[in-house]
Amino acid sequence: MRKLFLLLIIFGLFSYLTASAAVFTPLLPDTPVFRSEEMFRPLDRGVTGFTESLYKGFQNPQVEELQKFLKQWPDVYPEGLVTGYFGLLTEAAVKRFQVKYGIVSSGTPETTGYGRVGAFTRAKLNELLVSAPVVAEEPAAREAIEIKPEPEPAVAVLSLEPVCKTRKIPSEYAAIQSAIDAACSGDVILISPGVYQENLFVKTNALTIQSEQGAEATIINPDKGLGIVLTDGVNSAVIDGLTVNTNLDNIAVYLNIPREEAAVTVKNSIIKNSSIGISVFAVAGSILLKNNLIINNKSFGIYDNAAYGGVVSAENNTIAKNNTGYYLDSVGGNHKLINNIIVSNREYGVAASQGSAEKEHEILKISYTNVWNNATENYYTFRRREKFTPSGINNFSTDPLFAGADNYQLRSNSIMIDAGDPAFSKDPDGTRADIGAYPFDQRTLPSGSQVKSSFLGNLLQVILGWFR
């Protein structure tokens, strides 16, 4: 009897202590309190919770779930792109989320966590995930399977594959997007001169979207959102001879190419006045950016995030007056800059991000390219915070001698004439390839005129360029 009484006293004391601990357990500031049944409740978005710190450069399923979750707020993630890669757009969305919920509003990911999914941001995300309403499934779907209509009499039908064709804008379709939606693989979308205020989303393989009379006369000018988007279902496409002028803090041309067999070309176009001119996300396939003028973009002329088996070739482009001309944000892939003019950008000509490969020159090859007069540095790596020397051959750093302040044609005495890679196809005038988007037509010169200055004069230009 005495032993039973002692056991009851010990049990009562234990119950009192555990109850007290539950009452007085301190909580950290901003730490959400979850009910146990909520912790494990299935969520309508397929997300079970965020468990990792995420920041720019990450690529994993948690980033993909983060993007899916954030895109429900257009004011937080207006682009709504789900790629699984934490890049600049995702970082900007995280910052807007942090400001929206009063977590942090200034600083950097390294100092204050602004733009980084850390402990407090993760807690808020998980709190919102748990409190999200569960959407009931539609009951009609099961019933529909059980209802079987009476069979119709068999009718012989001649089935024909869609006939690929040229679809003309605006004579056959009032909007470019309408023609794209109606197109089948292999079609050509042919656009007459004009200004078209629309966004283009390409989901059909092997389309060619081109202008009748060139980029100067054919302008895509969306009033919101992305300019031209190629989604991850597209294996091949050609964009030829368009001006994309967004005048927005967004992306003019977004290429999301994760397939090995993909082959996408953007050529003979003018990409300007956006936040990012051309953004490439690819884990496989090949991207060719050729003979484009890429100017006046607030962040990057070209943002290159191709990795693994992705191949990006930027050839004969003129890239000027952006914040950064070409920005590499990748740890792998194959990246080539050949015959380009990258000049007069507000900060950097060619830059590699902090998350890029430690030895950027091993994945980035630069040859026959003129990088000159970029305000901060011509070549810079944020990983080591220093200038770097490009790998490749026959590069320049000299005034390309444009025809005018906003005229990117070459003067007749430019050293860029006949200075491109000799392995490339000849220019339309039959001479060796020039450097830049606009080759100089030597057929326009009077008979017997010299194209450019003497060899010694050209050499002097190059030497002076090294000291500028």
Helix boundaries (H) for 101-166: 119-131, 140-146
| Same domain assignment for residues 342 and 388 | yes
CB-facing half-sphere around the CA of 217: CA atoms within 13 A: 9
| pLDDT value of residue 241 | 98
Residues in the chain predicted with pLDDT less than 50, given as ranges, are 1, 4-11, 13-47, 133-161, 453-457, 460-462, 464-468
Instruction: Provide φ and ψ at 205, rounded to 5°.
Output: -70, 150
| Same domain assignment for residues 243 and 366 | yes
Domain final residue, candidates 363, 395, 427? 395
* CB contact burial 147-182 (16+ within 10 A = b; e otherwise): eeeeeeeeeeeeeeeeeeeebebeeebeebbebbee
| pLDDT value of residue 75 | 86
| Same domain assignment for residues 64 and 107 | yes
In a domain, 94, yes or no: yes
The CATH number given to whatever domain includes residue 74 is: 1.10.101.10
Domain final residue, candidates 368, 395, 422? 395
| Same domain assignment for residues 238 and 299 | yes
| pLDDT value of residue 62 | 86
In a domain, 420, yes or no: no
Percentage of the chain with pLDDT > 90? 51
| Same domain assignment for residues 91 and 238 | no
| Same domain assignment for residues 310 and 385 | yes
In a domain, 21, yes or no: no
Domain residues for the domain of 333 are 166-395
Length of the chain: 468
Per-residue pLDDT tens over the stretch 316-356: 999 999 999 999 999 888 999 999 999 999 999 999 999 88
Distances (CA, A) of 29 to 26, 192, 221, 373: 10, 61, 47, 50
The CATH number given to whatever domain includes residue 349 is: 2.160.20
| pLDDT value of residue 258 | 67
In a domain, 415, yes or no: no
* CB contact burial 294-328 (16+ within 10 A = b; e otherwise): bbbbebbbbbbbbbebbbbbbbbbbbbbbbbbbbb
| Same domain assignment for residues 181 and 327 | yes
| Same domain assignment for residues 98 and 217 | no
| Same domain assignment for residues 175 and 224 | yes
| pLDDT value of residue 108 | 84
DSSP states of 99-111 as a string?
Answer: HHTTS--SS-TTT
Domain final residue, candidates 367, 395, 423? 395
In the chain, how many H helices and how many E strands?
8, 28
In a domain, 458, yes or no: no
In a domain, 275, yes or no: yes
In a domain, 12, yes or no: no
In a domain, 436, yes or no: no
| Same domain assignment for residues 114 and 177 | no
pTM over cut 0.85: no
| Same domain assignment for residues 194 and 317 | yes
| Same domain assignment for residues 185 and 306 | yes
Domain total of the chain: 2
Specify burial of residue 385 (Cβ count, 10 A radius: 0-12, 13-18, 19+).
Answer: exposed
| pLDDT value of residue 163 | 56
CB-facing half-sphere around the CA of 82: CA atoms within 13 A: 11
